[in-house]
Amino acid sequence: MTCTAVQTQELTEYWLGEVDEAHEQRIDEHLFACASCSSRLSALVDLGGAIRRTFIEGWLSLVLPEPFLRRIKDAGFQVREYDLPAGGSVSCTVTPDDDFVVSYLRAPLRGVQRLDVLIDDTTSGKHRANDVAFDASAEALVTVTSTAYLKTLKHSQQHVRLVAVDGGEERLWADYTFHHYPS
Ligand SMILES: [Zn+2]
């Protein structure tokens, strides 16, 4: 059973030290008594430096290893998942119950030296993440998109391109299209 006494947003603020003293004490007491919430907290702590305000509230997508996602699911977070083949597109959404939205961008990654991710979003514009971490033996890049950002979106389209960089040469490796609709 997943306890919802402490919401994900609240738990994140607690972990970032952004709640006031009385609130912190209330959460402390709850965590002491609640195995469900404390395991969710430790899964968040495992994100280490990866989780930041920009992730919580910004447009940013993070690239994460698959074991971390298992940990997040085991801890009781609600994860919405989309699985796209190279060249694929999907109609996607987010509901108030979702804590994380995860996309599996399928592509053969063996032999790739460096991978950059280019995002062209009709709402937030163009973004580029250089030299993202990826597991060459995995046949997919796993990304997590800020749920807070997604929840603010009306209809929006996001074009994601994976670019393989070798020396000075860039090559389009795979691309994906997300058609986002509010839930
Ligand atoms: Zn709880």
Give residue 14 CA to ligand 1 midpoint distance, Å: 14
17 C-alpha to center of ligand 1: Å?
A: 18
Residue 51: its pLDDT value, please?
A: 53
Q: Please choose, from the candidates 10, 125, 113, the residue with its C-alpha nearest in 3D space to the C-alpha of residue 58.
A: 125
Task: Work out the pLDDT band at 164, boundaries 50, 70, 90.
Answer: very high
Give the mean pLDDT of 46-63. 53
117 is written with which tokens?
A: 């991710």
Q: How far is the CA of 144 from the centre of ligand 1 (A)?
A: 24
pLDDT number for residue 58? 45
The whole-angstrom separation of Cα 165 and Cα 33 is 50
Ligand 1 center to 78 CA (angstroms): 15
CB 79 within 8 A of CB 100: yes
Q: How far does the centroid of ligand 1 lie from the alpha carbon of residue 52, in Å? A: 23
Better-scored residue on pLDDT, 57 or 25: 25
What is the mean predicted confidence (pLDDT) over 8-20?
84
Read off the pLDDT of residues 56-89 as tens digits, 9 standing for 90 and up.
444 456 667 677 778 788 888 889 999 999 999 9
| Average pLDDT score, the chain | 84
What confidence category does residue 8 fall into, taking pLDDT thresholds of 50, 70 and 90? confident
Give the per-residue pLDDT at 130.
82
Q: Which residue has the higher pLDDT, 52 or 160?
A: 160
Rounded to 5°, the CA angle 93-161-107 comes to 90
Q: Given the DSSP bridges, would you call strands 89-92 and 61-63 parallel, antiparallel or unpaired?
A: unpaired
pLDDT higher at 68 or 18: 18
Angle at 33 between CA 10 and CA 46, to 5 degrees: 50
Residue 30 CA to ligand 1 center (angstroms) comes to 6
Relative to beta strand 79-84, strand 100-106 is: parallel
pTM above 0.85, yes or no: no
Task: Tell me the per-residue pLDDT of 128-160, one tens digit each, with 9 for 90 and over.
Answer: 888 887 778 888 888 887 677 777 788 999 999
Q: How far is CA 51 from the centre of its chain?
A: 9
**With b meaning 16 or more CB within 10 Å and e meaning fewer, what string describes 38-51?**
bbbbebbeebeeeb
